[in-house]
Structure 1
Amino acid sequence: MVNFNPTNRFSKSYPPNSVHNYLAHPSGTGGVVQIALFNSHRFAFYFWNLWKKELLKDRSSFNIDLVTYDWHQDLVYPSDGGKEELKKLDLDNNFEVSFFSSYKLNTLNDSHIMSAVYLDIINDVWVLCRQGTFESDWEDEYLEDFKGKRHTIRKFKTEDALRQALFLSEIQNVFFDIDLDYFTLNNNIEPTEKFRYIKDSEINNLIAPENVLISWIFRRLSGITIALEPEFTGGISKSLKYLSLIEKNWFEKALGSYHVRWRHLKEAE
């Protein structure tokens, strides 16, 4: 039997090699928001659960939709056995959830979203992605969680399509998730094939705080998760390059530093 109790009150339960910061809320209206950075995308499950619990402390219910940018769809459903395991997971024990995220979720990093949906950590899902061969791959999907609540999973080929759909929604709270392999144009490539990437100028436009979609997300933000996923970006140096582009657009300092501040809020002062 694994003991999931901390060894002392100063122990951190974060998954391995995760970086975590508290920031002023990017809307500029007060409050704070948290951001987490990690290698393996499945670690997002831990942070989504942690932040959802914190946000629920002062209210009886709180729906948070997920907006995720990813080359892959990462929408593998939990099996029947996986559902039973999820229902047994003690979501109030951060060490247990950290262990589960690190060593029990699929190491292909494609089951964390639907697992979080099944436990109603996440409400509905909005995926901006490139993976999808057939038109049916882009159709809406639905998942009934362990309490019988129905969740909708929507997939989009373009930023414009995602923006139009979100602007018509009544969403109030969002987890914003970025897998850095979204900035690649090809993926799952043969050993002889080279990665191709979006132009830096296009990435800057996509993630700029003044981008109307990013501004919409920031006003509703409940947390940000960023996955490096170097295996799918062409290596760790490529992941760090695209992380650096995000940092330069959003922050005055690199993530992991003390007192990280939003660049656009500083400029507005």
Structure 2
Amino acid sequence: MYENKEPYNCNPPGTHLEQVAHPGGSDRTIEKAIIMEHRFAFFFWMKWRNLLSDNELLKQSAPTLVTIDWHRDLAPVPDDQKKALEQLNQSNLSDVANYVWAQFDQTNDGHILCASWLNLIGDVILLQNTTSYQESTVKDRNGNDHGIFEFRDFNRFQEFMVDRNDQNIFFDIDLDYFIHGKGKRQYSDDFHRYSDEEIKQVIDISKPVFQQILPNINGITIALEPGYCGGIVNSCQIMDQFHSQLFTENNEWKHL
């Protein structure tokens, strides 16, 4: 009933969007999207992938998704949703935002394979706290294979990334990665957030993995997910330390 006044130039409600310099040092900028719920990352991957294609900046079939998350977020796409995704008008950003809000799994674990289905992202490289290393493949709507590589060990994740040659990357972070315990306070007696020093051990621009990732980033999505971080205070404290590892107080890349 209530149509967006600017359906082709809008963002999901509650999104904070910032322009930052391209981390590769070029003159163009990229976007950093800060979202409350992780599923809205799909919206930005779709928008950025299409912009890269339109501007002839896509150097591979689809950007590699490098994601850091406590959970796997790899729920399969139901057949009826596959059909709905194919019919989605990707230029109508209001419709896309509403679809993600109302029709995606409310547990925020279906957005990655929805994006793979539409070839908005290519391979998925996931650092998570759920399982040991595993590898799988999914097909998109055109029958193309998308590799999914899941790591729990940071060093193995780093070695894998350094050996690749990804030229377009979407960097995605769910702040609940930095939580000790099950991932929600009521699930665990030892639930508490990573210390600032523990966050620094993971997010460190001097590490080889970030030297590989940063120059090739085409967009960053950061999910606050306070419900899985033990509340908004924990989430904001994690965000403050995470962000300061990559950016200066003036929102400039530290490595530049």
- TM-score clears 0.5: yes
* Alpha-carbon offset, residue 262 of structure 1: 2.1
- Tell whether the 8 Å contact from 1:15 to 1:101 is kept in structure 2 after alignment: no
Structural mapping, 1:183-202, within 5 Å: 183-186=178-181, 187-190=183-186, 193-202=189-198
1:30 to 27, 32, 57: 27
**CA distance in 1: counterparts of 2:6 and 2:119, whole angstroms:** 30
**CA distance in 2: counterparts of 1:76 and 1:226, whole angstroms:** 20
The secondary structure found in structure 1 opposite 2:115 is helix
**Gap change, CA 1:44 and 1:126, over 3 Å in 2:** same
**CA distance in 1: counterparts of 2:91 and 2:6, whole angstroms:** 17
Match of 2:126 in 1: 127
- Tell whether the 8 Å contact from 1:230 to 1:238 is kept in structure 2 after alignment: yes
Q: Does 1:169 align with 2:164?
A: yes
Deviates more, 1:119-128 or 1:211-220: 211-220
* Alpha-carbon offset, residue 62 of structure 1: 4.2
**CA distance in 1: counterparts of 2:221 and 2:184, whole angstroms:** 22
**Gap change, CA 1:262 and 1:169, over 3 Å in 2:** closer
The secondary structure found in structure 2 opposite 1:151 is strand
Moved >6 Å (runs of 4+): none
Match of 1:149 in 2: 144
* Alpha-carbon offset, residue 28 of structure 1: 2.3
The secondary structure found in structure 2 opposite 1:223 is strand
The secondary structure found in structure 1 opposite 2:193 is coil
Match of 1:260 in 2: 251
**CA distance in 2: counterparts of 1:58 and 1:7, whole angstroms:** 26
Between the two proteins, what is the percent identity of the paired residues?
31
* Alpha-carbon offset, residue 80 of structure 1: 1.1
* Alpha-carbon offset, residue 104 of structure 1: 1.2
- Tell whether the 8 Å contact from 2:68 to 2:126 is kept in structure 1 after alignment: yes
The secondary structure found in structure 1 opposite 2:158 is helix
* Alpha-carbon offset, residue 139 of structure 1: 2.4
**CA distance in 2: counterparts of 1:8 and 1:196, whole angstroms:** 42
**Gap change, CA 1:183 and 1:73, over 3 Å in 2:** same
The secondary structure found in structure 2 opposite 1:121 is coil
Say how many residue pairs are matched.
Answer: 253
Match of 2:200 in 1: 204
Match of 1:81 in 2: 80
**CA distance in 1: counterparts of 2:139 and 2:126, whole angstroms:** 18
- Tell whether the 8 Å contact from 2:18 to 2:33 is kept in structure 1 after alignment: yes
How high is the TM-score relative to the length of structure 2? 0.91
Residues 75-119 of structure 1 deviation map (CA, whole Å, 9 limit, x = unaligned): 001011111111111112111111112221111000000000000
* Alpha-carbon offset, residue 261 of structure 1: 2.1
The secondary structure found in structure 1 opposite 2:90 is coil
Q: Which residue type is aligned with residue 28 of structure 1?
A: G
The secondary structure found in structure 1 opposite 2:240 is helix
Task: Quote the RMSD (CA, aligned, Å).
Answer: 2.1
Q: Which runs of 5+ in 1 are unaligned?
A: 254-258
2:43 to 40, 43, 46: 46
Match of 1:98 in 2: 97
How high is the TM-score relative to the length of structure 1? 0.87
Residues 25-67 of structure 1 deviation map (CA, whole Å, 9 limit, x = unaligned): 1222432111100110000000000111111113386420100
The secondary structure found in structure 2 opposite 1:110 is coil
**CA distance in 2: counterparts of 1:211 and 1:86, whole angstroms:** 38
Structural mapping, 1:236-255, within 5 Å: 236-253=232-249
- Tell whether the 8 Å contact from 2:162 to 2:208 is kept in structure 1 after alignment: no
* Alpha-carbon offset, residue 141 of structure 1: 1.6
Q: Which runs of 5+ in 2 are unaligned?
A: none
**Gap change, CA 1:220 and 1:104, over 3 Å in 2:** same
- Tell whether the 8 Å contact from 2:43 to 2:97 is kept in structure 1 after alignment: yes
- Tell whether the 8 Å contact from 2:69 to 2:128 is kept in structure 1 after alignment: yes
Q: Which residue type is aligned with residue 21 of structure 2?
A: A
The secondary structure found in structure 1 opposite 2:138 is strand
